[in-house]
């Protein structure tokens, strides 16, 4: 009898031990997994039980906010002018989670940031409904709207910067999408919208302003020009500009449509940039050498590193350069060179800021629910690309691109405003058996408008917007958009 009792006791002990082990495993080891599982309904209901804070553009306009509902999910995330700001706000969906600033600033917006603990505790003790903090952006509404209007529904992007601070004044990616459709509380409609978006060959969910890199074409000549100025070249110097350039490791380079630069043998440095002479800049880079070109590109920010603003930024890079021929081809923005629209805006921001590169940023302030400041972003210098004297020469050369009647960027002119820039038309995509590109080139423009208190630098890219074999796409398609963005910003800030 005692033996049977002992056996039962041992069995019960084993069962109790197993139960304790399982409870500890579930409540300790797997707690985070279960808590964060998107299918955990309790977590979803808890998330939606309190309002998230606002995302706010310059001037106090909410571009993401929470509104009360009468359904099970007590608050609905709403995006006024949703497609205009979607690449920045992202979406907040109970089906597909978070993206964009809704994700990167999620702890502040939800109120879960450790710095908001005192605020949440005060709400609980006083019986108030807890809510999240808010985030104020650097984005200028006028510049953002002009960029969105200029792009239309064409695949492309615009990024504008304050050269003096690095603040991002506009960041638009098209085609865009409406995050309101993904934030809805009807699962069937949300899934249907998501399926449509991910099946769209134009990829509207891709943030082309930050997450896509492209061959930059001739806007890379801004880097070449800066490198040459660092190597003591002067704008008036005559440099080789043959009709056909024989490349050091084999092959040749010509200008678009067989155009002639200068007298067909040489041209002035400034005029070669003004008309975007390929052979002149291919030879110039070979002459000054790969190290100084790559070092200059790195100072501009093309250092192969990923950035956050706080949204993630794709790498910009010159890629592998195997020999002198590859260097010449890279220096006209082809071969393995890749650049994001943000990086393209950084080129002109340096020129407009006495040669200094400032760190780009999108969030100006984080605030508590009672609007006291949690954090304020201060400008930070990343590098000095050029001395002020050298940069003055670069600015003069870029202004020639816009003001000279033969310049490629004349459509960026703004009456009464000093504007400089550089156009680009970039071959891309597959080639046929004869080496001809099967897709039209990308159209680029990067430039700046000088203003004593509110300067602006901007970059525009339009995917496959040019005509194969023509260098004109950057000047005719992209430059007018950049002009309109700069003018909208200057008109909006005039008198401030």
Active centre residues (catalytic): 218
Where b means 16+ CB within 10 Å and e means fewer, 257-286 reads eeeebbeeeebbbbbbbbbbbbbbbbbbbb
Contact indicator for 147, 487 with CB cutoff of 8 Å: no
Beta strands 156-161; 456-462: pairing state: antiparallel
Category of 26 on φ-ψ map: left (φ > 0), alpha (ψ -120 to 50) or beta: alpha
Contact indicator for 239, 280 with CB cutoff of 8 Å: yes
State phi, psi for 370 to the nearest 5 degrees.
-90, 15
Count of CB atoms situated within 10 Å of the CB of 386: 25
172 DSSP β-pair partners: 158
**CA 238 to chain CA centroid, nearest Å:** 37
Q: Residue 337 in 3-state DSSP?
A: coil
Dist. CA 48–CA 38, nearest whole Å: 13
Q: Residue 444 in 3-state DSSP?
A: strand
Contact indicator for 335, 194 with CB cutoff of 8 Å: no
- Please return the burial class of 241, using the count of CB atoms within 10 Å of its CB with bins 0-12, 13-18 and 19+: buried
**Packed helices 388-403 and 341-351: angle between N→C axes, nearest 10 degrees:** 110
Dist. CA 368–CA 9, nearest whole Å: 57
Per DSSP, the residues of 392-423 read: HHHHHHHHHHHHSTT-TTGGG-BTTB-EEEEE
Contact indicator for 79, 86 with CB cutoff of 8 Å: yes
**H-type alpha helices, 199-340:** 208-211, 221-230, 269-274, 278-288, 290-299, 324-330
97 DSSP β-pair partners: 93
384 DSSP β-pair partners: 356
């Amino acid at each position: 009898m005692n033996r049977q009792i002992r056996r039962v006791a041992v069995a019960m002990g084993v069962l109790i031990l197993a139960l304790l082990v399982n409870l500890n495993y579930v409540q300790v080891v797997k707690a985070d997994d279960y808590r964060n599982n998107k299918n955990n309904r309790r977590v979803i209901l808890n998330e939606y039980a309190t309002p998230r804070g606002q995302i706010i553009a310059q001037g106090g306009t909410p571009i993401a906010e929470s509104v009360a509902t009468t359904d099970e999910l007590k608050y609905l995330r709403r995006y006024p002018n949703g497609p205009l700001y979607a690449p920045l706000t992202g979406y907040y969906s109970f089906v597909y989670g978070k993206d964009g600033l809704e994700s990167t600033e999620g702890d502040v917006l939800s109120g879960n940031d450790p710095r908001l603990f005192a605020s949440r505790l005060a709400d609980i003790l006083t019986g108030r409904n807890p809510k999240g903090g808010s985030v104020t952006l650097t984005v200028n509404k006028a510049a953002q709207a002009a960029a969105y209007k200029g792009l239309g529904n064409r695949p492309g992007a615009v990024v504008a910067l304050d050269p003096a601070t690095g603040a991002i004044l506009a960041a638009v990616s098209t085609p865009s999408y409406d995050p309101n459709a993904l934030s809805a509380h009807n699962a069937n409609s949300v899934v249907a919208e998501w399926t449509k978006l991910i099946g769209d060959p134009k990829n509207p969910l891709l943030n082309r302003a930050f997450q896509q890199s492209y061959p930059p074409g001739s806007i890379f000549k801004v880097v070449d020009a800066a490198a040459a100025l660092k190597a003591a070249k002067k704008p008036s110097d005559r440099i080789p500009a043959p009709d056909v350039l024989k490349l050091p490791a084999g092959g040749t380079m010509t200008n678009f449509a067989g155009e002639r630069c200068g007298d067909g043998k040489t041209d002035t440095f400034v005029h070669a940039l003004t008309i975007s002479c390929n052979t002149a800049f291919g030879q110039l880079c070979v002459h000054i050498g790969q190290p100084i070109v790559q070092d200059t590109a790195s100072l501009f920010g093309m250092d192969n590193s990923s950035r956050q603003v706080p949204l993630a930024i794709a790498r910009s890079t010159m890629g592998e350069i195997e020999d002198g021929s590859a260097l010449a081809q890279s220096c006209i923005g082809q071969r393995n060179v890749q650049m994001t629209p943000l990086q393209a805006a950084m080129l002109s921001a340096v020129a407009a800021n006495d040669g200094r590169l400032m760190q780009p940023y999108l969030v100006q302030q984080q605030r508590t629910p009672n609007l006291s400041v949690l954090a304020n972003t201060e400008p930070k210098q990343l590098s000095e690309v050029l001395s002020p004297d050298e940069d003055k020469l670069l600015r003069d050369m870029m202004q020639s691109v816009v003001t000279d009647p033969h310049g490629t960027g004349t459509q960026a002119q703004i009456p009464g405003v000093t504007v400089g820039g550089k156009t680009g038309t970039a071959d891309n995509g597959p080639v046929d058996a004869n080496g001809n590109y099967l897709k039209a080139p990308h159209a680029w423009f990067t430039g700046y408008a000088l203003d004593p208190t509110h300067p602006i630098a901007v970059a525009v890219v339009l995917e496959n917007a040019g005509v194969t074999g023509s260098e004109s796409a950057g000047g005719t398609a992209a430059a007018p958009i950049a002009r309109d963005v700069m003018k909208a910003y200057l008109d909006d800030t005039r008198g401030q």
